[in-house]
Structure 1
Amino acid sequence: MSQYLQHFLYPSSLFASKEPHLVKTILGSCVAVCLWDSKLKIGGINHYMLPNWNGNDLASPKYGNIAIDKLIDRMLFLGSKIEDLQAKVFGGGEMMQTGSSKAKIGERNIRLAMLMLEERKIPVVASSTGGRKGRKIIFFTDSGEVRHKLLDKNKD
């Protein structure tokens, strides 16, 4: 692993590089979409908190519809073709017990990712989404490999 540059991906951000990176992030109800170009062997990842930008504040990658399009644009800028991209989707856990369907942020985040990727004809080749646990993921941008671990929020 020492040949990899490391990057920690914070919520509301994205990362893509031609250089091999090991990108780590922690997800609860947030979702991370990993895009990998099988021809150029480069990857990118986002980490968004809410599904849709409502047009009020800044159009930032805090919102899934912005984060996914910005990540696709970054991959195309690095030389990828949309038909060479594949996706892996992680996160979207329901971390809080609520009765309201509007509050199901994780579920809405997952649905948005799947819908946008399908619309752009980017196949989702792997995913680990939903449930009641958080996830720690490590994305290897040169191979597209993602290692993930479920986190037990009840452990101190």
Structure 2
Amino acid sequence: MSGTFSQIYIQIVFAVKGRQSLINNSWEEELYKYITGIVQNKRQKMLAINGMPDYIHIFIGMKPSCCLSDLVREVKKSSNEFINDKKFCSRTFSWQEGYEAFSYSHSALDNVIAYIMNQKQHHHVKTFKEEYLKMLKKFEIEFKDEYLFEWIEDE
């Protein structure tokens, strides 16, 4: 009997609406665990999750039957509700529309995981905007400025 075998590794990035720094250190670990649960309940493998107060990176091993846009929509919708139900923020929390997704080979796993897990140290040197534009160019993704994240002016 034939089977389906695959190696699909996707890094997903999405930001807090308006790029507000609303993800607090005091509850980010709980948020990451909650999002990990969503990914695992959708039968995907969480490889790494981390971020900054205004965005997160998620790195997953994805099955070919998974629809990436459906998974991201569920993660964002459910985590919005989780954050607001827990009253982690003094105002209503929401993720910004859209997301970025980048695929990697198996040989890049360790480097991508290390990169994601070191986000806070990494951003002492480089802004999110610099990092983001570099990734789009590295992956040769065509884009229009008006469809990019809302940037915080001091970046």
What is the TM-score when the length of structure 2 is the normalising length? 0.29
Q: Which has the higher contact order (CA 8 A, sep 6+)?
A: 2
Larger C-alpha radius of gyration, 1 or 2? 2
What is the TM-score when the length of structure 1 is the normalising length? 0.29
